[in-house]
DNA sequence: CTGTTAGCGCTTTCAT
DNA sequence: ATGAAAGCGCTAACAG
């Protein structure tokens, strides 16, 4: 008891005793058992669960860092799981996190069914979805302004004179993919162009698939003069394909890349980047969660935020 | 009690009762409290603590993924903390992890003092150091074969005719930096060249610092004809600086890059990559930890492993 | 200022 | 096949 009191501030413990306690703690290497601590009624665990789709993607590494830093600010630690875009794994992770008494969850959903994220399944544990929304799931969500970013970038390409603009995107079940496609398509249609299905490749989740899709576009009888890449995996795949097939820069199509990519701006390819900081996205998601947990907003209605993106200039 | 029995396999529970229990669990959304569970004597928490230096570096994102995947294989979850190369934060993280009853630790040490990682401080909790060793700390450690990789790459540059080879490296207190420098220096000395201090820049932890260091080298009266970049932050910084200052490729120095970098091979700069998969490094560290935890090797003497690296061909 | 009691959720052991 | 007791480490509430 005296030890407990000393370690939680030392109220009502003689200074001399406190000294001896701290001494003993240091020499014995004693650590208070946080799990036992949080078992007492009303005590939170200080841990939040984070499920992301692909840690190998630098984008999500930075995202996770944003979450981690804000969590630290709020005195929390994160438990991290990688879903690999696999719904079953996401379900398993979330369930495990709940069993481990996380105070809240931050999830980049794989898309598809989402019963495991419904408030009634999670009890009092709040969730924040990040990067992607889930249809019909009414929980806090932070997205980018995907549609506007895609729209304005595509429009800029049209204004610059490009007409045959292809599209490389993520799997259709992912909300981001749909939103970015929508912006792209709207810009073309408003400009009076028709969508050409042969220029539109959707469903590439990794660099290799994106590279193959881009090769298909490059080998068309009339290849696109520009290609909209809906995420960094597709941008990198497209750049690889161009590097393979078109060593002479002149013939290469211009690219729009959603998400920034290290070194891309050094390549001799006309490139327009729609940029934003994934770390901010993670930080924002974490703040939304802690608003609920610490900010007395436990029961507020859910919020949907769309963070602004920067549409750069066509360069290179 | 009956619930507990049902959920742990259902021995000695009537089938009909088990059915009702599972029913109730499903409708109530009950989750077994894993923290309470692991409080019982002899029960492990199923969590390992992972402290890495910089999640914003794609290298460590992949590293973390390697750890996470192997941990999943072994039925464990990870608690992840970012130290930002700050020793105080590392100390705090490790202490917190211990308080949270982690079964083991995987740490990319910031370097410097390391009393907080000594076995006597950690009790029975095993640690594995990854990527970097700590002088005088006798615990399991997984490194790359840094010295050999740096040596052979430098030698290859010498054989290709380069003589003024600069060096961009990490802070000196980091063991990796020292080992890679050693390989570089040995190759030069064996070849009969002297080390030129004006070509050797050490201490760059991030891309921006690396870029500035590279600019300094490029602005020398007699700039280097090649530069050895001791990690991916330095490689990217060097590439940025070249992109800024030497738009005409011909004048640019060749680079050796330790660690692969997405897109680097597409740039028109002669480049030799010393490559390895950071995910493997993480996976290997995790396996070493679980060897100790599950493999009955609790008390074996500590092991030091150096994973092989691939030295590529100068290209571009 | 210090110590005792009780109970958080769980499961091993011991009744029944 | 089921339940009761006990104790893991902790701290709020209550003695003293």
Q: Which residues of B touch A62 (CB under 8 A)?
A: 55-56
Per-residue pLDDT, A123? 87
Name, in order, each residue with C-beta under 8 angstroms of B115's C-beta and a sequence gap of 6 or more: B121
Report the share of chain A in percent with pLDDT over 90. 90
Scanning every strand, the nucleotide with its C1' closest to B39's CA turns out to be: D8
Flag whether pLDDT at A130 surpasses 70: yes
User: How much is the pLDDT for A292?
Assistant: 96
Which range (A102-106, A148-152, B8-12) has the least confidence? B8-12
Q: Output the pLDDT for position B275.
A: 96
Averaged confidence pLDDT in chain A:
95
| Residue linked to tokens 């939040």 | A48
Residue among B46, B22, B17 nearest B33 (CA): B46
Q: Which nucleotides of C are covered by protein (CB under 7 A)?
A: 1-5, 7-13
Give the pLDDT score at B202: 97
The arithmetic mean of pLDDT across residues A121-127, rounded, is: 93
The distance (Å) linking the CA of A51 with the C1' of D5 is 40
**Listed residue (B164, B258, B248) closest to B210, CA to CA:** B258
Distance CA(A209)–CA(A232), nearest Å, equals 13
DSSP state of B266: G
pLDDT for A247 equals 64
Which residue among B32, B57, B62 places its CB closest to the CB of A99? B32
- By C1' distance from the Cα of A40, the closest nucleotide is C8
Q: Choose the closest CB to A78 out of B65, B80, B98.
A: B80
Q: Which residues of chain B have pLDDT under 50?
A: none
Lowest mean pLDDT among A109-113, A114-118, A207-211: A109-113
Query: In sequence order, what are the beta bridge partners of B30?
Result: none
Taking contacts as CB-CB distances below 8 angstroms, the residues of chain B near A39 are 33, 35-36, 39
Give the model's confidence band at A154: pLDDT under 50 very low, under 70 low, under 90 confident, else very high. Answer: very high
Res B247: pLDDT: 63
- Residue A249 confidence class, pLDDT cut points 50, 70, 90: low
The pLDDT, as a whole number, for residue B178 is 95
Nearest to B106 by CA among B117, B92, B115: B117
pLDDT digits (tens, 9 = 90+) for A33-72: 999 999 999 999 999 999 999 999 999 999 999 999 999 9
Q: What angle do CA A117, A83, A290 make, to 5 degrees?
A: 50
Residue–nucleotide distance: B35 CA to C10 C1' (Å): 9
Residue A293 banded pLDDT, cuts 50, 70, 90: very high
Between A39, A55, A96, which is nearest B35 by CB?
A39
Q: Tell me, what's the pLDDT at B184?
A: 98
- Closest chain A residue to the Cα of B39, Cα to Cα: A36
Q: Tell me, yes or no, if B247 comes closer than 8 A to chain A by beta carbon.
A: no
């Amino acid at each position: 008891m005296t030890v407990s009191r000393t370690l939680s501030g030392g109220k009502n413990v003689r200074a001399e005793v406190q000294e001896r306690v701290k001494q003993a703690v240091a020499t014995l290497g004693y650590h208070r058992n946080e799990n036992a601590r949080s078992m007492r009624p009303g005590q939170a665990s200080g841990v939040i669960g984070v499920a992301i789709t692909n840690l190998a993607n630098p984008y999500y590494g930075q995202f996770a860092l944003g979450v981690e830093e804000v969590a630290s600010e709020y005195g929390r630690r994160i438990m991290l799981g990688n879903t690999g875009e696999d719904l079953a794994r996401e379900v398993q992770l979330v369930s495990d996190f709940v069993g481990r008494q996380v105070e809240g969850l931050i999830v980049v959903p794989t898309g598809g069914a989402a019963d495991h994220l419904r408030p009634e399944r999670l009890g009092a544990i709040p969730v924040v979805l990040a990067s992607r929304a889930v249809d019909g799931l009414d929980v806090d969500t932070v997205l980018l302004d995907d549609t506007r970013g895609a729209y304005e970038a595509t429009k800029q390409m049209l204004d610059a004179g490009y007409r045959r603009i292809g599209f490389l995107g993520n799997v259709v079940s992912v909300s981001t993919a749909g939103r970015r496609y929508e912006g792209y398509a709207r810009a073309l249609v408003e400009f009076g162009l028709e969508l050409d299905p042969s220029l539109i490749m959707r469903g590439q989740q990794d660099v290799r698939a994106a590279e193959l899709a881009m090769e298909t576009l490059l080998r068309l009888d009339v290849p696109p003069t520009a290609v909209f890449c809906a995420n960094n995996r597709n941008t990198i795949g497209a750049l690889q394909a161009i590097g393979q097939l078109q060593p002479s820069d002149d013939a290469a199509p211009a690219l729009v890349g959603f998400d920034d990519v290290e070194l891309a701006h050094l390549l001799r390819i006309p490139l327009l980047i729609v940029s934003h900081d994934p770390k901010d996205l993670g930080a924002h998601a974490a703040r939304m969660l802690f608003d609920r947990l610490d900010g007395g907003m436990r029961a507020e209605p859910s919020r949907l935020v769309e963070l602004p993106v920067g549409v750069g200039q066509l360069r290179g």
